[in-house]
Amino acid sequence: MKRPGFFRVAAVVAVACMSSVSAPAATPDALAPTWRITRVIGAPWAPGESTRPPLQDWVGEAVNFKAGSVEGPGVLRCGNAVRETTSYPAEGLFQGNLPAPALEAAQALGIAHLPVAGVSLSCDSGIFEFHRVDAENMLLALDNQILTLSHSPGTLASADSPEGRVQRLLEAHFGGDMGFTPSNLKAQRIWFSRALDEAMSQYFARPTSADEVPAIDGDPFTDSQEYPQRFSVGTALMADGTADVPVRFSDAYRDRTVIYVMRREGGTWHLDDLRLGTGETLRGLLN
C-alpha span between 102 and 89 (Å, rounded): 9
2 belongs to a structural domain: no
Written as one letter, the residue type at 213 is V
Instruction: Examine the domain organization and report whether 85 and 138 are in the same domain.
Output: yes
3 belongs to a structural domain: no
Last residue of a domain, one of 94, 128, 151: 151
CB 140 within 8 A of CB 133: no
Instruction: Examine the domain organization and report whether 20 and 147 are in the same domain.
Output: yes
Q: How many CB atoms lie within 10 A of CB 84?
A: 11
Last residue of a domain, one of 107, 128, 151: 151
C-alpha span between 258 and 255 (Å, rounded): 10
Q: Is the pLDDT of residue 27 over 60?
A: no
Instruction: Examine the domain organization and report whether 104 and 184 are in the same domain.
Output: no
Instruction: Examine the domain organization and report whether 175 and 127 are in the same domain.
Output: no
Last residue of a domain, one of 151, 186, 205: 151
Instruction: Examine the domain organization and report whether 179 and 100 are in the same domain.
Output: no
- Residue 278 is predicted with a pLDDT of 87
83-100 pLDDT, tens per residue? 999 999 999 999 999 999
Global pTM reads 0.88
Instruction: Examine the domain organization and report whether 274 and 211 are in the same domain.
Output: yes
- Residue 263 is predicted with a pLDDT of 97
197-237 pLDDT, tens per residue? 999 999 999 988 777 888 898 999 999 999 999 999 999 99
Q: Is the pLDDT of residue 133 over 90?
A: yes
6 belongs to a structural domain: no
Instruction: Examine the domain organization and report whether 139 and 43 are in the same domain.
Output: yes
**What mean pLDDT is predicted for residues 34-61?**
91
Question: 81 pLDDT band (50/70/90 cuts)?
Answer: very high
Instruction: Examine the domain organization and report whether 44 and 132 are in the same domain.
Output: yes
| Bridge partners of residue 41, in order along the sequence | 146
Question: 8 pLDDT band (50/70/90 cuts)?
Answer: very low
Instruction: Examine the domain organization and report whether 180 and 258 are in the same domain.
Output: yes
**What mean pLDDT is predicted for residues 113-139?**
96
Instruction: Examine the domain organization and report whether 115 and 164 are in the same domain.
Output: no
| Bridge partners of residue 39, in order along the sequence | 148
- Residue 50 is predicted with a pLDDT of 59
Q: How many CB atoms lie within 10 A of CB 149?
A: 23
- Residue 49 is predicted with a pLDDT of 63
If one counts the domains in the chain, the total is 2
4 belongs to a structural domain: no
113 belongs to a structural domain: yes
Question: How high is the mean pLDDT of the chain?
Answer: 89
CATH number, domain with residue 253: 3.10.450.50
C-alpha span between 184 and 40 (Å, rounded): 19
Looking at per-residue pLDDT, the higher value among 8 and 206 belongs to 206
Q: List the single range of 10-14, 50-54, 135-139, 267-271 with lowest mean pLDDT.
A: 10-14
Instruction: Examine the domain organization and report whether 270 and 143 are in the same domain.
Output: no
Q: Is the pLDDT of residue 36 over 50?
A: yes
**What mean pLDDT is predicted for residues 37-49?**
91
Instruction: Examine the domain organization and report whether 195 and 141 are in the same domain.
Output: no
Reply yes or no: is the peptide bond before residue 28 cis, omega within 30 of 0.
no
C-alpha span between 100 and 216 (Å, rounded): 36
176 belongs to a structural domain: yes
Domain that holds residue 201: 158-286
10 belongs to a structural domain: no
Q: Classify residue 226 by burial, with Cβ atoms within 10 Å: 0-12, 13-18, 19+.
A: middle
11 belongs to a structural domain: no
